[in-house]
């Protein structure tokens, strides 16, 4: 055992503290020669308080974030608890970051114990994740399926990276995006994964107290954002890195999901909207679809995606919903490029629904995500739907397919067979703006109100018009 220094900090936070700042910083000095840091903390959970925690090193680098999911942290030159990045433990002033997620009127007490030690560091042997599972089919071009929003033990999920990848392969997914909250500690495990049957996309869910944003790539972004200008700057920072900014579950009214409901819905500049989120109730997802539809009618080109927001356990299944992406090559780069272009449709699960749409304007064929440059007044619309037979039997004619434009629900069909293909004519004008397809169950299939949606089953991005 080496030498140790123990520091203890106690305090109480009030709502007035959160009015000033969403974060409180507790500083401590790490002496020369001390190579490991252990932190334990607790707070008044029983009062309804939520205090998150993270760590900044003496070089002002963010070394990790764990929300309120972990009460013990550890970091040294070669090791760290998931959510935190191992590496040089520099001497000097470090900061524990407390996130004031929920502070009750009577105040929230906290206690932090920091143990700094001189340990002899042993070599770390990297354990590769070699996947034993094999997919039913190999990766190929065309429509591929996956999940763009999942979590591991590196934030508040239950599965490690390897276990999550294995589950995705068992579901016959083609790709999986790991988007842990406010940390990139998962990246090293992703790099070690040896799973040629699936594309593993690194990412991060930038989790603020006023909204959550997904971006895909091995780049950390500061999540300490509060006002409208902060979010404008965040989008600009993401774009300067050449990455996509996807607004997650913009309508989420669960008081226990802090920051899930996006506060600044007047903000523009996002590349994508996650309109279909796994644990979010149908009505709230329908709110997001209605909002997206309104943005489209305003002339915005705004692709949508879905995400299971899988954390493990029984709350939601992986790839529920599933995001299908049309790719020319099965690579991470092509997946992200196709998402940027809106070559995407969503289905409730990986194996029950498939939907494709194409439009002929004269002799020109346009597919989901495309723009028709020279629009004929009459278009030929082709829709191809594949449905699991059990679904058809279960719903007994309740499933409706809707072709929707900026003006109206242009066409309405009842789906009663497993394979449903049709060609129809659609008369358009300058106010049509786009054509999209939606499948679901509705109290009133002629209504675009969110309250009319009983269940979403599949949803396409639009084909746009000038």
What CA–CA distance (Å, rounded) separates 323 from 175?
A: 10
Question: Which of the four pLDDT bands, split at 50, 70 and 90, describes residue 449?
Answer: very high
| Residue 41: exposure state from Cβ atoms within 10 A (0-12, 13-18, ≥19) | buried
Task: Express each pLDDT in 195-231 by its tens digit.
Answer: 888 999 999 999 999 999 999 999 999 999 999 999 9
Nearest by Cα to 398 from 454, 447, 451, 346: 454
State how far the Cα of 225 lies from the Cα of 333, in Å rounded to an integer: 29
pLDDT digits (tens, 9 = 90+) for 145-164: 999 999 999 999 999 999 99
Q: Mention every residue, 6+ apart, whose C-beta is less than 8 A from residue 287.
A: 251, 450
Show me where the domains of the chain are located: 4-117, 136-464
The residue ranking higher by pLDDT, 438 or 121, is 438
Q: Which pLDDT tens digit goes with each residue over 169-188?
A: 999 999 999 999 999 999 99
Class of domain 4-117: mainly beta
pLDDT at 126: 62
Instruction: State what percent of residues in the chain have pLDDT above 70.
Output: 96
Omega cis (within 30) before 321: yes
Helix ranges, 171-214 (H)? 187-192
Q: Please check whether residue 340 is in contact with residue 387, taking contact to mean a CB–CB distance below 8 angstroms.
A: no
Instruction: Flag whether the pTM goes above 0.85.
Output: yes
Binning the chain into helix, strand and coil, the percentages to the nearest 5 are 15, 40, 45
The residue ranges of DSSP E strands in 14-49, in sequence order, are: 23-30, 36-43
pLDDT of residue 362: 87
Over its C-alpha atoms, the chain yields an Rg (Å, rounded) of: 24
Architecture of the domain whose range is 136-464: Alpha-Beta Barrel (3.20)
User: Between β-strands 72-76 and 129-130, what pairing exists: parallel, antiparallel or unpaired?
Assistant: unpaired
Structure tokens at 198: 């699936």
């Amino acid at each position: 055992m080496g030498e140790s220094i123990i520091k203890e900090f106690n305090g109480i936070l009030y709502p007035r503290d959160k009015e000033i700042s969403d974060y409180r910083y507790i500083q401590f000095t790490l002496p020369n020669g001390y190579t490991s840091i252990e932190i334990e903390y607790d707070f008044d959970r029983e009062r309804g308080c939520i205090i998150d925690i993270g760590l900044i090193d003496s070089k002002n680098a963010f070394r990790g974030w764990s929300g309120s999911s972990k009460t013990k942290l550890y970091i040294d030159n070669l090791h760290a608890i998931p959510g935190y990045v191992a590496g040089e433990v520099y001497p000097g002033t470090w900061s524990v970051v407390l996130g004031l997620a929920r502070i009750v009127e009577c105040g929230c007490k906290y206690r932090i114990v920091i143990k700094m030690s001189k340990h002899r560091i042993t070599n770390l042997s990297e354990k590769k994740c070699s996947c034993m599972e094999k997919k039913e089919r190999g990766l190929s071009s065309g429509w591929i399926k996956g999940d763009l929003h999942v979590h591991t033990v590196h934030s508040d999920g239950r599965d490690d990276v390897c276990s999550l990848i294995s589950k995705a392969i068992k579901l016959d997914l083609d790709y999986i995006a790991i988007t842990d909250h406010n940390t990139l500690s998962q990246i090293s495990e992703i790099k070690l994964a040896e799973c040629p049957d699936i594309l593993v996309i690194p990412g991060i869910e930038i989790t603020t107290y006023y909204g959550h944003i997904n971006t895909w790539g091995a780049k950390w972004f500061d999540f300490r954002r509060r006002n409208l200008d902060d979010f404008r700057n965040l989008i600009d920072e993401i774009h300067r890195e050449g990455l996509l900014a996807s607004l997650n579950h913009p309508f989420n009214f669960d008081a226990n999901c802090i920051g899930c409901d996006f506060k600044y819905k007047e903000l523009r500049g996002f590349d994508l909207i996650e309109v279909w989120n796994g644990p979010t109730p149908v009505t709230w997802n329908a709110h997001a679809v209605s909002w997206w539809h309104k943005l489209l009618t305003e002339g915005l080109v705004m692709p949508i995606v879905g995400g299971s927001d899988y954390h493990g356990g029984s709350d939601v299944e992986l790839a529920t919903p599933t995001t299908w992406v049309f790719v020319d090559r099965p690579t991470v780069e092509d997946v992200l490029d196709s998402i940027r272009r809106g070559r995407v449709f969503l289905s409730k699960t990986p194996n029950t629904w498939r939907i494709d749409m194409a439009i002929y304007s004269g002799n020109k064929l346009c597919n989901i995500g495309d723009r028709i440059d020279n629009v004929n007044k009459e278009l030929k619309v082709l829709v191809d739907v594949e449905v699991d037979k059990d679904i058809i039997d279960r719903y007994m004619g309740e499933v409706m397919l809707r072709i929707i434009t900026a003006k109206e629900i242009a066409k309405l069909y009842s789906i009663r067979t497993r394979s449903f293909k049709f060609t129809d004519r659609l008369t358009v004008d300058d106010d049509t703006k786009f054509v999209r397809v939606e499948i679901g169950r509705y109290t009133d299939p002629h209504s675009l109100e969110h309250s009319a949606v009983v269940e979403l089953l599949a949803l396409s991005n639009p084909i746009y018009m000038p």
